[in-house]
């Protein structure tokens, strides 16, 4: 039987305020299937990085009990999610990736902070990096753990954080939340029901049809518009970005939906959804705050979940990447001068274009690239560093976690009082999540150019 192993490291500062006390390599606690796992074309073009997320819990706890429970439950959940305990490797010649299910394990870090929970404020500043494991991308990909977890207790012993870094190649946000919630269930002492088991066979995304030329005008693969008169994004990239949390009460969410639907000229169409109304509102506020020329092209990019758009739909609890990038586009003047329903309709059109046939065509674009790096460049630029695509002014990247049961991650100390991304964006980005209050309110975590942030906040509440 495989057991967790422990590696002590000297108690030295991880940052000025957080000390790593110990590092554990956690293995599945039972033998797991071995061999190579095929990764889909959608997996191949996911970010070749670990997505950092933070869960904050406000509860009295015993530090040793906390660490022991997290280790033991992690070793149990890895039996069901055994691909996470494996390692990526490159297929020679194509640059494509495959997953070696070798059960080398994941990393769990035990950490302590000299700060209290309140010292971290809204968890949108650089200090949040203290709470998420650092991944050494200079190491060969075959040596990188797919999952690193850091459990940090705050000063005073009344709160702790779970920082998760999960490789995006393995799964999207839906899969990640499925894994975290299942792990939490085992940590509470419960067992997983048969319907909660992950579906791990990704060959259901092997499209049998022969490679064909694109059948659609894939706006998501075209260059993003620049500010009129500019030849590159250098100026915009160098501008400072601020971050804030903005709350929408259930009543305000209802007002936005009503506003979008009351203004709609599309007779007989179904009402605009929460996402369509909120995303449209964010887009309008951003366009107003930036004060750009009315003829300025602007676009919003976001991902659509394709699990139920495929024929047949993907199996329930499919664990992998199943997102399709899509784009809404128009001119600033049209977004500002028209009613909210205009922008909501643009958002809807970007969602509705993602049909089964469109997904086929998008994947054929990926398959048509001889080298994987060329396909990845369509989504991220030449690389995910300095030459990455810039989604800031005059454009916007929106991510929605509204439909995900993220606050169900109760490891035995109650539900999280806060959750969010464990990174600080350097460009304009909006993240829409449910409030932990459970009352239907929505939280917008927005990174936006500092010079425009005050106007954005002004319009965000005034324009309802």
CATH, range 219-404+424-463: 3.30.559.10
On whether the CB atoms of residues 278 and 248 are closer than 8 A, the answer is: yes
Output the pLDDT for position 12: 37
Catalytic residue of the set 80, 168, 331, 447: 168
| Segments making up each domain of the chain, as ranges | 18-205, 219-404+424-463
Strands 396-400 and 297-305: parallel
User: Mind giving me the DSSP string for 298-312?
Assistant: EEEEEEEE-TTTSSS
Residue 101 phi/psi, 5-degree rounding, is -80, 75
Question: Quick one: how far is CA 448 from the chain centroid?
Answer: 18
User: Is 100 a known active-site residue?
Assistant: no
Output the pLDDT for position 134: 94
Output the pLDDT for position 16: 61
Helices 450-462 and 274-290 cross at an angle (nearest 10°) of: 130
Output the pLDDT for position 13: 42
Output the pLDDT for position 435: 92
Output the pLDDT for position 36: 97
Question: Alpha-carbon distance 438 to 441, whole Å?
Answer: 7
Question: Alpha-carbon distance 409 to 368, whole Å?
Answer: 40
Closest CA to 283 of 462, 464, 461, 460: 460
Q: Model's pTM, two decimal places?
A: 0.93
Helices 250-262 and 274-290 cross at an angle (nearest 10°) of: 80
The first and second tokens of residue 406, run together, are 């993220």
User: Is 155 a known active-site residue?
Assistant: no
Q: Do domains 18-205 and 219-404+424-463 have the same CATH topology?
A: yes
Strand ranges across the sheet with 36-37: 36-37, 97-100, 87-90
Regions of the chain where pLDDT drops below 50:
1-15
- Kindly report the average pLDDT of the chain as a whole number: 92
Output the pLDDT for position 2: 40
| Apex 243 CA angle, 238 and 246, nearest 5 | 145
| Assigned superfamily of 18-205 | Chloramphenicol acetyltransferase-like domain (3.30.559.10)
């Amino acid at each position: 039987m495989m057991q967790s192993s422990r590696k002590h490291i000297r108690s030295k500062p991880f940052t000025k305020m957080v000390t790593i006390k110990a590092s554990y390599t956690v293995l599945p606690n039972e033998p797991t299937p071995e061999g190579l796992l095929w990764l889909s074309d959608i997996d191949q073009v996911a970010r070749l990085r670990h997505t950092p997320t933070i869960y904050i819990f406000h509860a009295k706890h015993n530090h040793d009990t906390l660490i022991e429970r997290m280790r033991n439950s992690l070793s149990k959940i890895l039996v069901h999610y055994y691909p996470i305990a494996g390692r990526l490797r490159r297929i020679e010649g194509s640059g494509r990736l495959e997953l070696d299910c070798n059960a080398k394990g994941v990393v769990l870090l035990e950490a302590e902070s000299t700060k209290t929970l309140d010292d971290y404020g809204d968890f949108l500043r650089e200090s949040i990096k203290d709470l998420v494991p650092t991944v050494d991308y200079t190491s060969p990909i075959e040596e990188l753990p797919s999952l690193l977890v850091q459990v940090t207790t705050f000063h005073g012993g009344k709160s702790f954080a779970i920082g998760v870094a999960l490789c995006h190649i393995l799964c999207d946000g839906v899969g990640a939340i499925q894994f975290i919630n299942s792990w939490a269930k085992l940590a509470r002492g419960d067992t997983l029901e048969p319907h909660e088991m992950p579906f791990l066979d990704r060959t259901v995304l092997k499209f049998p049809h022969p490679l064909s030329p694109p059948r659609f005008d894939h706006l998501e693969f075209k260059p993003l518009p620049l500010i009129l008169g500019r030849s590159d994004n250098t100026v915009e990239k160098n501008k400072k970005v601020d971050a804030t949390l903005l709350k929408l009460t259930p009543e305000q969410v209802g007002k936005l939906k009503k506003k979008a639907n009351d203004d709609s000229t599309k007779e007989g169409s179904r009402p605009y959804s929460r996402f369509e109304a909120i995303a449209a509102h964010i887009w309008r506020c951003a366009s107003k705050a930036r004060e750009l020329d009315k003829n300025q092209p602007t676009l919003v990019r976001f991902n659509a979940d394709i699990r139920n758009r495929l024929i047949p739909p993907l199996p329930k609890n499919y664990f992998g990447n199943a997102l399709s990038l899509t784009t809404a586009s128009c001119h600033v003047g049209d977004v500002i001068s028209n009613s909210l329903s205009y922008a909501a309709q643009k958002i809807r059109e970007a969602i509705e274009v993602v049909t089964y046939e469109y997904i086929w065509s998008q994947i054929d674009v990926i398959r048509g690239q001889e080298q994987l790096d060329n396909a990845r460049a369509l989504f991220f630029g030449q690389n995910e560093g300095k030459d990455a695509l810039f989604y800031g002014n005059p454009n916007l990247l929106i991510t929605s976690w509204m439909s995900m049961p993220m606050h169900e991650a109760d490891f035995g100390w109650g539900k999280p009082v806060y959750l969010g991304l464990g990174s600080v964006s350097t460009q304009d980005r909006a993240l829409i999540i449910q409030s932990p209050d459970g009352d239907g309110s929505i939280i917008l975590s927005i990174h936006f150019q500092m010079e425009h942030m005050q106007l954005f906040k002004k319009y965000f509440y005034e324009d309802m």
